[in-house]
Amino acid sequence: MEQIQALMAENGLTPADLISGTSTPGKRASKGKSQSSGSKVAAKYRNASTGESWSGRGLQPRWLKAALAGGQKLEDFAV
């Protein structure tokens, strides 16, 4: 216990720092998601007949895969 207290004093830590999860004195622990996560991205591709869209991120949606398999080109759906 004495070693831990000595290390805490040496590094400027308090018991509250250990509980809150911060490792640097004066800094707060990050809670939740980053600012950019969850934000909407503009659609790059749109199915004109149904109005469905895809941002170009992640897996291709089923409607786009089916259209590409049917011989259409990705450029045909560009917004």
Buried b (16+ CB within 10 A) or exposed e, 25-42: eeeeeeeeeeeeeeeeee
Q: Assess contact for 43 and 79: CB atoms under 8 A.
A: yes
> Does residue 74 carry a pLDDT above 90?
yes
- Within a domain: residue 40? no
pLDDT of residue 34: 64
**Average pLDDT of the segment spanning 57-66:** 94
pLDDT in tens, 14-55: 888 877 655 555 555 566 666 666 788 899 999 988 999 999
pTM of the predicted model, to two decimals?
A: 0.51
Structural domain range at position 49: 45-77
- Within a domain: residue 70? yes
**Count of domains for the chain:** 1
CA distance 78 to 44: 6
